[in-house]
């Protein structure tokens, strides 16, 4: 693997680390936020899901901007917004102020969730695209684990008081502010990153594209790569992406598959675990530290995401998703039965949740951002990926907003039973509509009939 491609992919994928950190850090602050801002189930759901409003906004508009102005400027913008969110959230004096800065952080997440995998997929060779684009998901789960771990450290060690002179009542502020360091690292790391050569070619900037391709390919390979990409770029359509082209008949079915796929990914229920893990564990009687159990979910998520690296370019995307959907459906169904029978005084609930996370990480978690970034044509990739990611974050918002209400009204049995059904539906959708993309160049994927 070319070292420049690897290094740049890792740098860009740091946006995923901030993505994961920003979305998961809220879980460790819930108890304090309920106390400080006097939140009930509905307002708690709003505080948690407010970031997802920003995600929806960022994801909806960033694709068109990326197709017009390039990938790199939007990545730099996301880094700045992550920094603003971290500072503002930690200094919030009211629930409304916190919601505002969480929305700003959500916009940053929405931008990163669209642009990071697109950029990596556009510089990666076809045979390595799955593993390289998966770096986005690996850094996301690393960010989730980092958020869980930093929450636990802040809450259970003397670091907050001795190093930062933060009282126990304000630990939640330090949890949010911990994001400042990776945000600064991400911004500085992006400065030397070149613009995507595929985007440059859609703007007829062949000189800069060749300059970038020299970092990634041997001299004898550059002309072949250049010609291959140029042959699949429409001169008129590539100059200016418009909505009419995105929804044109030849792209319409592919767009619908991408939108539905991205939305169903949230109906698996993975983020109710990451956002509300402490609330779920509060209903069990294992007796161990709730925040430590939450850290375990992050560790399992990371380990099985790394395991997926071995399979995504060998077994392919579709087989992994089929396996994951069925396995997650079974896990949720058994979890529902345990809550129905009120057999919660052991570690079986924790084991089931860890298994569910493992099944997600090795399947949907490994494929979601890879697949969205690769199924659309070059000329509309930014805008179409943005629409699909908008659907993902929109569904994430609804799931996160409604989970505390469902848990309060349906109980664990009804809530997890409902998500077992959603996972079975996701299996049927993948079986019927998802087409395989492993080992195929981005330009050749355009010619696959759907």
Q: How many angstroms from the chain centroid is the CA of residue 331? A: 22
Per residue in 178-213, pLDDT (tens digit) is 999 999 999 999 999 999 888 888 888 888 888 888
Give me the mean pLDDT over the 258-271 stretch: 90
Asked whether residue 162 carries a pLDDT value surpassing 70, the answer given is no
Q: What is the CATH classification number for the domain harbouring 157?
A: 1.20.1250.20
Q: Would you state the pLDDT for residue 241? A: 54
Question: How many domains does the structure of the chain reveal?
Answer: 1
The answer to whether residue 211 sits within a structural domain is: yes
Give the highest mean pLDDT range of 80-94, 227-241, 384-398. 80-94
The overall average pLDDT reported for the chain is 84
Beta carbons within 8 Å of 402's beta carbon, 6+ residues apart: 45
Asked whether residue 242 carries a pLDDT value surpassing 70, the answer given is no
Asked whether residue 121 carries a pLDDT value surpassing 50, the answer given is yes
Per residue in 387-407, pLDDT (tens digit) is 898 888 889 888 877 887 888
Give me the mean pLDDT over the 275-300 stretch: 69
> Which residue matches tokens 């598959």?
257
Which range among 288-297, 415-424, 431-440 shows the weakest confidence by mean pLDDT? 288-297
Asked whether residue 73 carries a pLDDT value surpassing 90, the answer given is yes
The residue that leads in pLDDT, 162 or 363, is: 363
DSSP letter string, 249-308: HHHHHHHHHHHHHHHHHHHT-HHHHHHHHHHHHHTS---S-HHHHHHHHHHHHHHHHHHH
Asked whether residue 238 carries a pLDDT value surpassing 50, the answer given is no
Q: Would you state the pLDDT for residue 278? A: 64
Per residue in 126-157, pLDDT (tens digit) is 777 778 877 888 898 899 889 988 888 888 87
Give me the mean pLDDT over the 412-441 stretch: 91
Q: Would you state the pLDDT for residue 272? A: 79
Q: Would you state the pLDDT for residue 236? A: 39
Which range among 176-190, 298-312, 376-390, 421-435 shows the weakest confidence by mean pLDDT? 376-390
Confirm if 51 and 107 have CB atoms less than 8 A apart: no
The answer to whether residue 268 sits within a structural domain is: yes
The answer to whether residue 450 sits within a structural domain is: no
Per residue in 330-344, pLDDT (tens digit) is 999 998 998 888 877
The answer to whether residue 137 sits within a structural domain is: yes
By three-state DSSP, how is residue 136 classified?
helix
Please, how many CA atoms are within 13 Å of residue 390, restricted to the half-sphere of its CB?
A: 16
Domain of residue 327, residue span: 3-445
Beta carbons within 8 Å of 41's beta carbon, 6+ residues apart: 404, 405, 408
Which range among 94-103, 223-232, 368-377, 399-408 shows the weakest confidence by mean pLDDT? 223-232
Give me the mean pLDDT over the 337-352 stretch: 81
> Which phi-psi region, left, alpha or beta, contains residue 422 (left: φ > 0; alpha: ψ -120 to 50)?
alpha
Q: Would you state the pLDDT for residue 353? A: 86
Please, how many CA atoms are within 13 Å of residue 131, restricted to the half-sphere of its CB?
A: 16
The token pair that represents 120 in the structure block: 């990596």
The pLDDT-based confidence of 275 (bands split at 50, 70, 90) is low
Give me the mean pLDDT over the 226-230 stretch: 77
Q: Would you state the pLDDT for residue 414? A: 92
The pLDDT-based confidence of 289 (bands split at 50, 70, 90) is low
DSSP 349: H
The answer to whether residue 351 sits within a structural domain is: yes
């Amino acid at each position: 693997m070319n070292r420049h491609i690897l290094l740049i992919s890792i740098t860009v994928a740091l946006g995923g680390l901030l993505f994961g950190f920003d979305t998961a850090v809220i879980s460790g602050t819930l108890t304090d936020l309920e106390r400080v801002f006097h939140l009930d189930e509905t307002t708690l759901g709003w505080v948690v899901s407010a970031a997802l409003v920003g995600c929806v906004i960022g994801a909806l508009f960033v694709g068109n901007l990326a197709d017009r102005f390039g990938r790199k400027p939007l990545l730099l913008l996301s880094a700045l917004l992550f920094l603003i969110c971290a500072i503002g959230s930690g200094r919030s004096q009211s629930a409304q102020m916190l919601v505002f800065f969480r929305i700003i952080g959500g916009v940053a997440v929405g931008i990163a969730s669209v642009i990071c995998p697109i950029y990596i997929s556009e510089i990666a060779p076809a045979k390595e695209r799955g593993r390289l684009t998966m770096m986005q998901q690996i850094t996301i789960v690393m960010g989730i684990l980092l958020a869980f771990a930093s929450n636990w450290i802040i809450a259970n060690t003397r670091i907050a008081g001795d190093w930062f002179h933060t009282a126990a009542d304000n630990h939640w502020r330090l949890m949010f502010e911990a994001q400042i360091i990776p945000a600064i690292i991400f911004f500085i790391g992006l400065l030397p990153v070149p613009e995507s050569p595929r985007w440059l070619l859609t703007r007829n900037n062949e000189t800069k594209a060749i300059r970038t391709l020299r970092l990634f390919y041997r001299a004898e390979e550059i002309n072949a790569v250049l010609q291959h990409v140029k042959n699949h770029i429409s001169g008129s359509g590539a100059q200016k992406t418009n909505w009419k082209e995105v929804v044109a008949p030849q792209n319409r079915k592919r767009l619908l598959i991408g939108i539905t796929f991205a939305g169903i990914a949230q109906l698996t229920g993975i983020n109710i675990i990451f956002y509300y893990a402490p609330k779920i564990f509060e209903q069990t009687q294992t007796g161990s530290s709730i925040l430590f159990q939450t850290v375990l979910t992050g560790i399992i998520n990371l380990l099985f995401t790394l395991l997926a690296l071995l399979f995504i370019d060998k077994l392919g995307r579709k087989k992994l998703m089929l396996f994951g959907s069925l396995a997650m459906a079974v896990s949720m169904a058994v979890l529902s039965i345990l809550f129905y029978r009120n057999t919660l005084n052991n570690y079986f609930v924790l084991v089931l949740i860890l298994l569910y996370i493992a099944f997600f990480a090795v399947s949907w978690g490994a494929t979601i951002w890879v697949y969205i970034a690769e199924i659309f044509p070059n000329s509309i990739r930014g805008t179409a990926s943005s629409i699909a990611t908008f659907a993902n974050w929109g569904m994430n918002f609804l799931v996160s907003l409604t989970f505390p209400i469902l848990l309060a009204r349906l109980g664990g049995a009804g809530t997890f039973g409902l998500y077992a059904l959603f996972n079975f539906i996701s299996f049927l959708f993948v079986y019927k509509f998802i087409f395989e993309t492993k080992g195929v160049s981005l330009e050749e994927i355009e010619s696959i009939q759907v």
